[in-house]
Amino acid sequence: MKLQLALDRLSDDECLDILTKTYEAIDWIEIGTGVIKEYGMPIVRKIRETFPKSIIVTDMKTCDAGKYEAAQAFEAGADITTVMAFAADQTITDILDVALEFKGRVMVDLLGVTHKQRIEQLHDLGVDLVSLHFGKDMQKNGNITGDIFELVSGFPDLEVAVAGGINLETLSTILPYEPDTLIVGGGITKQGNRKHMAAQIKEAIQEYERSHSHRSS
């Protein structure tokens, strides 16, 4: 399982400072929608220049104009960009085509999706990476539950990331579902010692994997 750090509601200086401190523990860097809206593609370029070997996810949350927004992200240095599952099939197909040109990937954000039929449609379009998104506003009424994982059950070749208020305390409720990527934002960025917290979360993931490795052997 990979650890993706979501940088959101932060200044550009804070983003770089946090990355410098947490770099060793994280696998993917997510430049959040709020940061992109505030700073645009220059922040993507700056993080790419500073961390040339990192996998960068631009959380564009594209809904329309897929070709243009995807090209923007990939040209700025993104490896992965996001599109909303409720976008038109043509928008998603266009983004997949642009990703192919740039040798990048597309992560489809499943926020608002409640039926497996849409997952089947996305799968048929060629989508291979999705994020189960327990939204910020939804978090006001509780934490992620197992129900959210039902959406993607039965699609073994679909790579699944999960986001939504994950922190060291809630990690144990998410790990048994074994998503491919855990997306953590405030659980790291809002902590006093971000480096230590990132390392703790990474260690908890690795410890879970070590203790359950016999299942797949």
Q: Which domain holds residue 41?
A: 2-215
CB atoms within 10 A of CB 55: 16
More confident residue, 138 or 51: 51
DSSP string for 11-61: -HHHHHHHHHHHGGG-SEEEE-HHHHHHH-HHHHHHHHHHSTTSEEEEEEE
Q: Are strands 129-133 and 159-163 parallel, antiparallel or unpaired?
A: parallel
- Give alpha helix (H) positions in 103-137: 116-125
Q: Please return the burial class of 169, using the count of CB atoms within 10 Å of its CB with bins 0-12, 13-18 and 19+.
A: exposed
CATH number of domain containing 132: 3.20.20.70
Measure Cα distances from 116 to 148, 169, 178 in Å. Answer: 11, 29, 19
What number is the average pLDDT over the span 162-181?
A: 92
Query: pLDDT tens for residues 55-97?
Result: 999 999 999 999 999 999 999 999 999 999 999 999 999 999 9
Report the length, in residues, of the chain: 217
Contact in structure between 73 and 50 (CB atoms under 8 Å): no
Q: Between 116-125 and 89-102, two packed helices, what is the crossing angle to 10 degrees? A: 40
Query: Mean pLDDT in the chain?
Result: 92
pLDDT at 214: 58
Give the chain's domain count: 1
89: which residues sit within 8 A by CB, 6+ positions away?
A: 121, 125
* Spatial distance between the Cα atoms of 1 and 27, rounded to a whole number of angstroms: 9
* Spatial distance between the Cα atoms of 59 and 82, rounded to a whole number of angstroms: 5
Query: pLDDT tens for residues 13-41?
Result: 999 999 999 999 999 999 999 999 999 99
Least-confidence region, from 23-27, 46-50, 86-90, 150-154:
150-154
Strands (E) located in the chain: 2-7, 28-31, 55-62, 80-84, 105-109, 129-133, 159-163, 181-184
